[in-house]
Amino acid sequence: MDHKPAAFDPQGEMPDDMTSGRGNRLRGEIITIEDLDAFKALRRAWEELAAAAQDYSQCATYGFCEVAAARALAKSTPINIAMVYDDGGLLAIWPLAIHRKGLLRIAKGLTCGSGEEYGGPLVRGRADKEAVTAAVSAAMKAHADILEIVLVEEGSVLQEALDAAPQSWMLPLLPHRLGSLPGYAIRLRGIPRWEDFLATLPRSLRENLRRDLKRLNASGRTEIGWCTTVDDAEAVLTWLFANKRQWSQSRGLNTPYLEDDRLKDFFVALAGHTDLSSIPLVAFVKVNGVPVAASVNLVGKSCVEGFFTTYDDAFRLYSVGTLLVEFLVKWSHANDLDFDFRPLEGSYKARWANSETRHKTRIIFLSPRGRLAEFSLLAGHMSRLAAKVRKIIISGFAKVKARVA
């Protein structure tokens, strides 16, 4: 394990020692991980940090990151880990994989392969602005040209910390919502009884849930629950990703991470690293022992994230996907957790959600060479803007045509 703290960059970075408003000294560094044994050496400190954290996503936990790190190192992808210390010890940790794209080195969070995990550090206690800013400053010392953080929630402490870092000159010139995605969640922890939450849902949704479950029970032996063994998780995951691949291909969607079994293999490996009796991962609806709907869920400190989900089109009329959502939301409430549908627009999400957010991918430039990426960023933004304008024009013509008719 090679300790390589970078020199202080006066353009917005934190020096290796900085006085904290808490009366502590904050010290940031980058550790370069060259093999899996070096990564595993961090396990105890990482798990102690998670135990003391007020909040985190499962994708920030040691188990998830170890499986992701093993895959990255097997492909000779370097790993940098940003670490921040105060007088109390380890304050924050943020693992990053350094990817090559042409001349550029891009630092990204460790991933299952989809690249859609929430970005950001794991922080001891409350992730306040001071701690997160220190973690961002440490991450900016990564041996890369660009730091890319996906799905940053607008208005969050992480966004505020990133706003102070070197960004694209074009950012203030672009429409505020360009490139942002809506996020939907259910805040359940302040709701004392499950019946109280149900009462907030549309009456039609509640009636359909009762009717569809009754019809599904009549079609065969119905089970809705969690996989509690690795073998069962592997069988359901195999079905889930094969079905999702078929669904994507039938709609002409280009989803590279669904084209092979690497994503499935990641979650099978994660199931093997997880105590499924206490931290569930794979949920299902089965009829006569065969999956008809399934989802991968990330169970964090305060929230369950619905990460991947799919259902058998042959059971569409039974609304098996909605029945699975009900099971997950009810389980979340029973375990004092919120439920996060994750960013991406969906009418079914809006029917369940009582909280909406916006999310954007943030790009931070770490070197002059990183600025080369601005040209591709500009092209991407212009392409999205043109697509949005085109959609508005087509919709306008359709409305005029409907009025004339």
Which of 370, 361, 380 lies closest to 117 in space, CA to CA?
361
Q: How many Å apart are CA 228 and CA 281, to the nearest integer?
A: 9
Write the DSSP assignment of 247-302 as a string of letters: HHHHTT---GGGSSSHHHHHHHHHHHTS-TTTS--EEEEEETTEEEEEEEEEE-SS
Quote the Cα angle for 358-363-367, to 5°: 165
- 3-state secondary structure string, 295-355? EEEEECCCEEEEEEEEECHHHHHHCHHHHHHHHHHHHHHHCCCEEECCCCCCHHHHHHCCE
Q: How many Å apart are CA 194 and CA 192, to the nearest integer?
A: 7
Q: How many Å apart are CA 259 and CA 362, to the nearest integer?
A: 27
Q: Which distant-in-sequence residues (6+ apart) come within 8 Å of 124 by Cβ?
A: 49, 52, 53, 88, 89, 90, 91, 92, 131
| Tens of each residue's pLDDT in the chain, 405 residues | 333 323 223 233 344 445 455 556 899 999 999 999 999 999 999 999 999 999 999 999 999 999 999 999 999 999 999 999 999 999 999 999 999 988 899 999 999 999 999 999 999 999 999 999 999 999 999 999 999 999 999 999 999 999 988 776 655 555 556 678 999 999 999 999 999 999 999 999 999 999 999 999 999 999 999 999 999 999 999 999 999 999 988 888 888 889 999 999 999 999 999 999 999 999 999 999 999 999 999 999 999 999 999 999 999 999 999 999 999 999 999 999 999 999 988 899 999 999 999 999 999 999 888 777 765 655 444 455 555 556 656 665 655 556 655
Collapse the DSSP code of 377 into the 3-class scheme (helix H, G, I; strand E, B; otherwise coil) and give the result.
helix
First-residue to last-residue Cα distance in the chain: 71
Q: How many Å apart are CA 110 and CA 79, to the nearest integer?
A: 9
Q: How many Å apart are CA 305 and CA 361, to the nearest integer?
A: 18
Q: How many Å apart are CA 191 and CA 329, to the nearest integer?
A: 12
Q: Which distant-in-sequence residues (6+ apart) come within 8 Å of 403 by Cβ?
A: none
DSSP annotation of 29 reads E
Whole-number Cα distances in Å, 212 to 10, 17, 30, 216, 275: 61, 60, 53, 6, 32
Max CA pair span of the chain: 73
By the 8 A CB rule, do 108 and 97 touch?
yes
The residues with which 308 forms a beta bridge, in sequence order, are 296
- The predicted pLDDT at position 13 comes to 38
- 3-state secondary structure string, 186-217? ECCCCCCCHHHHHCCCCHHHHHHHHHHHHHHH
Global pTM reads: 0.86
- The predicted pLDDT at position 345 comes to 84
Which of 163, 175, 83, 197 lies closest to 131 in space, CA to CA?
83
Q: How many Å apart are CA 310 and CA 239, to the nearest integer?
A: 9
* Strand 89-101, strand 303-311: pairing: unpaired
* Sign of the torsion angle spanned by Cα atoms 130, 107, 55, 322: positive
Q: At what angle do helices 262-272 and 230-250 cross, to 10 degrees?
A: 160
By the 8 A CB rule, do 81 and 110 touch?
no
- The predicted pLDDT at position 178 comes to 61
Type of residue at 267: F
